Amino acid sequence: MELLVGSAIALPLMILSTLVLAASADAVTPLLQRALVRLWQDIDYLLARKPALATPSWVPAVGDTVRYLDQQWSVQAVEVLLNDGNYYLCKVAQGQQSRWVSQEQLQLMAPTELARG
């Protein structure tokens, strides 16, 4: 008898909880879909904005004289950032100032003797 009463209470509770769960999933699904579409569009926008890495017109070398911010600087160190060797980070110096900048921001003025030979 107790088993019958317990089943009589449990069955309607299970049906009601299933209905609530289905209604909440139905309400949340469009919100999740919109959020995922916006996220995908944001990622696509960010990736599409990045220009493709161009092949450098010159390979920087220590001692090169370069133009940076309309001033003459000299290259003190060069680091390759990508494995394919297409992107260079150069440490440039002018007097007591030095900073790391990408090769794209530099314009070669005079190559070193070592780079020519």
Q: pLDDT per residue over 3-38, tens digit each? A: 666 777 888 899 999 999 999 999 999 999 999 999
Report the C-alpha gap between 35 and 90 in whole angstroms.
41
pLDDT tens digits for 75-103? Answer: 999 988 765 556 777 888 888 889 999 88
Reported as a pLDDT band with limits 50, 70 and 90, residue 116 is very low
pTM of the predicted model as reported, rounded to 2 decimal places:
0.47
Distances (CA, A) of 109 to 22, 69, 75, 97: 70, 13, 11, 19
Residue entry with tokens 């769960």: 21
Residue entry with tokens 């990622």: 43
Report the C-alpha gap between 50 and 48 in whole angstroms.
6
